[in-house]
Copies of this chain bind each other. A is one copy, B any other.
């Protein structure tokens, strides 16, 4: 007997098992869950995935996922079009939106420069950022990339690319996180948090 009693089952488990973080046992559990569903619910599941992948659009301005050519953030007149926050991916946009602390626009790079993974500047939306800044509306570019070597490399690359442009370039603050314990914070973060200390606000 093969591992699974049916080829159809085996194929479905294999497909589910390709998802990140899903092993063969979880895949089997998910597939058997699908099997217990009504057929139209399964169809609806399959349709949602294929529709998304076939019809997905990316905002022509910020490259965030969007249902239209221009996303809801870029087309919102209440948002501050003079500020652009550069992020790696759409999860980061959602995370920053969730804070309700930012009212400018975004620019989704689609990753960071990573020679190890074969990602160069041309694979990212860096030139389109330079072009966007060149249009003259943007006054500040906030770099909000991962605090990693790749993120820092990308920050520096963008900084150099925008060196001649008339914009303020800032980087999101790095320091100790809310509720972190000082004694367990790594040296680089703790060192930076002292160097970049901010005036105490009463």
Interface set of A (CB-CB < 8 Å, partner B): 1-9, 11-12, 14-16, 18-22, 26, 28-35, 37, 39, 42-57, 64-67, 71-73, 76, 89-91, 93-94, 97
Contact = CB atoms under 8 A, between A and B. Distances in A.
A11 B67 CA distance: 12
Given A1-B72, A89-B32, A94-B5, A37 B21 contact: no
Contacts of A54: 39
B66 A6 contact: yes
Contacts of A16: 45
Given A5-B73, A6-B66, A15-B49, 17 more contacts: A8-B52, A8-B55, A9-B65, A11-B48, A12-B48, A14-B48, A15-B44, A15-B45, A15-B48, A19-B33, A20-B30, A31-B52, A32-B90, A32-B91, A34-B52, A35-B53, A35-B56
A26 B37 contact: no
A114 B55 CA distance: 44
6 contacts: A3-B94, A5-B66, A6-B65, A12-B51, A14-B48, A32-B90
